[in-house]
Amino acid sequence: MNILVALAFLCLATLAPWRVRSQQQRLLVNMTLVSKAKASGALCLDGSLPAYHLHRGFGAGENNWLLQFEGGGWCNDLKSCFERAKTRRGSSSYMVKLEVFSGILSNNATLNPDFYNWNRVKLRYCDGASFTGDAVFSNKTTTLHFKGQKIWEAIIDDLLPQGLGKARKALLSGCSAGGLATFHHCDDFAKRLPTDASVKCLSDAGFFLDERDINLNHTMRFFVKSLVRLQGIEQNLNRNCTREQYFPALCFFPQYALKYISTPYFILNSAYDVYQFHHILAPPSADLHGHWNKCRLNPAACTADQIAILQGFRLDMLGALKPFYMNSRRGGVFINSCFAHCQSEPQDTWFRDDSPRINNKSIAEAVGDWYFSRNISKEIDCPYPCDGTCHNIIPEPKLR
């Protein structure tokens, strides 16, 4: 028995250094509630206060700021918004108080060489409209606050006196629905900072296409129109865009809003983005008999006809992006051929020895080269299945 006890202690002692290193690598950042938000009506769906997580910069990055919009889908009708209001996507009451910072938010120079010592902020998502709505629904029993635009303004107003107002360099970024939010707030972000600051924006997996589904229906377009109408979004869309569009709600789509953005911009996206594959191209409503089920879960199981449709989706994305990457001197792109969604926050896709690459350049290197003007960053991958560096991350179909 004594020998067994000794062996147990020896095992624990052997594992202890590994545990310490593991804890050191896992950066957990406390949540801050925006206490002044209530006065302006900047509230989450359920009426709770909006929130963010701030990890302070240091050294040469002390006056530089990176803001990251959290992603998490949308709600476009009262039923889905009521349900969302009872989750972390609609209420700060359900949010975890400690958030993991990794990838582009990491404070480790080895894992995030260009932004590790910046002030890094994660803006929590609790409005269901990519921080763009401004409306209220109320009945006898409950109230829903569609106040994404106000939340954005309240968080920025809270951060400005904490040093953001004196930023020398700044990057507004976001993933998924948060990536889409950067298209709608990029220029406003730049206007709020010093005129001599270097301000740029990055969208990760936020270039959602106005694309027909496999039955040639405009499933995503109808979804967006109902979202814009419900949450009072149209008034906050780019006015130059809405004046030109027959349907102003279409300006919620990045492909229509992008040309009106004057701030330098970088678009990181998969040409086979799994959210768009599952919800825009082949949504369950367009595949009632489940012919695409196997293909959704494993690209290798796709039929030749299904691969042809996926290749067409890729070409449509590149076509929508072409005016941007061909004509913009200050723009950057990294469009790979991975079946993934959001590649800047997970460490394994952002920057590691085996992270995805195009022309032997990782995502972190491409973004850094673009932001600091070290090199041209316009990387477009060859079609699936040519890329052997991909981390194909295919979740069960759900809202991200």
Active site residues: 176, 273, 341
Parallel/antiparallel/unpaired status of strands 51-55 and 198-204: unpaired
Q: Is 394 exposed, middle or buried (0-12, 13-18, 19+ CB in 10 A)?
A: middle
Q: Report how far apart the first and last C-alpha atoms of the chain are (Å, whole number).
A: 51
Among 218, 229, 214, 365, CA closest to 277: 214
Q: Are 270 and 205 in contact (CB under 8 A)?
A: yes
Tabulate helix, strand, coil % of the chain (nearest 5). 40, 15, 40
Nearest to 135 by CA among 151, 148, 116: 148
| CA distance to 230, 266, 362, per residue, from 261 (Å) | 25, 12, 26
Decide: residue 326, CB within 10 A, 0-12 exposed, 13-18 middle, 19+ buried: exposed
Cβ–Cβ < 8 Å for 344, 103:
yes
Distance in angstroms (rounded) separating the CA atoms of residues 49 and 73: 20
Strand partners, 51: 33
Strand, helix or coil for residue 51 = strand
